[in-house]
Amino acid sequence: MSHMPKLPADEQIEKVRSFNRFYTRHIGLLNEGLLESAFSLTEARVLYEMAHRGPVTAADLGRELGLDAGYLSRLVKRFDAQGLIQRSPSKGDRRQFLLSLTDKGLAAFAPLNQASAIQVAAMLSGLSVSERERLVQAMTTVERLVGGGLEPNLPYILRSHQSGDIGWIAHRQGLLYAEEYGWDQTFEALVAEIAAAFVRNFDPQWERCWIAERAGEVIGSVFLVRHSNEVAKLRLLYVEPSARELGLGRRLVDECIGFARAKGYKTLTLWTNDVLVAARNIYQATGFRLVKEEAHHSFGKDLVGQTWDLDL
């Protein structure tokens, strides 16, 4: 069961405000002319959208940028008077016009676009490769959390595990199961132990870990571990809340099944708890059968553990 989030703490609010002040100051958004140009930040945003989206209506432009219709109308008139934009009738709605940049508009935008790229390159050049990756991932996280999530059709990749993944998986599963089920820190410890043992004893011929990654972020994972010559274990299946509409859990389980069959295992087995309904539904849908149930007290909760087997 999910828990209602608490109200943000005062220190959290102040930290966000502090970051906003820092970033605004750092990239010069308070300057009268953005990047030493004749354009303000808002004007530059409008030029950027028209340069990259092609012909667009003023209404769509206003919605995309969150601009007041009156302010945008005045800005468009000014750009029109300067010869930076052109209007053409919309085929879908004759009452509206499509706006696009003229050659003069594109020429005015080009140095602004180049200066922005140079500024960001200069900022990143002072960081190591790993620091740059951390920064980009942090920005992606901010965009996803504050901006309403990633595009639902944004593709993900499956890859093998690499340095940093094991600690991250223990960290995320510990947090998610605490938030969603109220499990205590002993669960995170168990995940860390299982994942560490996998790395320590990893046999690539018979075992595999799948890491799902989207836009530079880990969004799910699963492990297949050799138990014997004929039996493999599916372990530590998890999917981030932001990726639970992608069918990723089923995909990860299918990958385990396909790998186990290809390696000649006779049985794929797993242990779970009955409160993990979404995972159990995937196991049932892929042909696993419940072979054992046992009540236990773990992770600070009274639970019912379940063993599921799939004959391969």
Q: How far is CA 177 from CA 2, 201, 208, 243, 293, in A?
A: 10, 26, 24, 16, 21
pLDDT above 50: residue 190: yes
Domain ranges of the chain: 10-126, 157-311
| Res 261: pLDDT | 94
Closest CA to 302 of 184, 193, 190: 184
Give residue 312's pLDDT band: very low, low, confident or very high (50, 70, 90).
very high
**In contact, 61 and 49? CB cutoff 8 Å:** yes
- Give 253's contacts (C-beta < 8 A, 6+ positions apart): 222, 234, 237, 282, 283, 286
pLDDT above 50: residue 106: yes
| Res 9: pLDDT | 83
Q: How far is CA 161 from CA 165, 174, 207, 220, 307, in A?
A: 6, 19, 12, 12, 26
The predicted-structure confidence for 4-36, as pLDDT tens digits, reads as follows 567 878 888 888 888 877 776 666 554 444 555
Q: How far apart are CA 20 and CA 171, in angstroms?
A: 27
The residue type found at 282 is I
pLDDT above 70: residue 1: no
| Res 42: pLDDT | 80
Strand partners, 1: none
Give residue 294's pLDDT band: very low, low, confident or very high (50, 70, 90).
very high
Specify the pTM: 0.61
Q: How far apart are CA 55 and CA 61, in angstroms?
A: 10
Q: What is the mean pLDDT of the chain?
A: 86
The predicted-structure confidence for 28-85, as pLDDT tens digits, reads as follows 554 444 555 677 778 888 888 888 877 888 888 888 777 888 888 888 898 889 998 8
- 24 vs 172: which has the higher pLDDT: 172
| Res 133: pLDDT | 81
Across 2-16, 251-265, 297-311, least confident range: 2-16
Spacing of C-alpha 129 from chain mean position: 20
H or E element in which residue 293 lies: strand 289-298
**In contact, 173 and 190? CB cutoff 8 Å:** no
- 157-159/208-214 β-pairing: antiparallel
pLDDT above 50: residue 300: yes
pLDDT above 50: residue 209: yes
The domain made up of 10-126 has a fold known as Arc Repressor Mutant, subunit A (1.10.10)
Architecture of domain 157-311: 3-Layer(aba) Sandwich (3.40)
| Res 36: pLDDT | 57
pLDDT above 80: residue 3: no
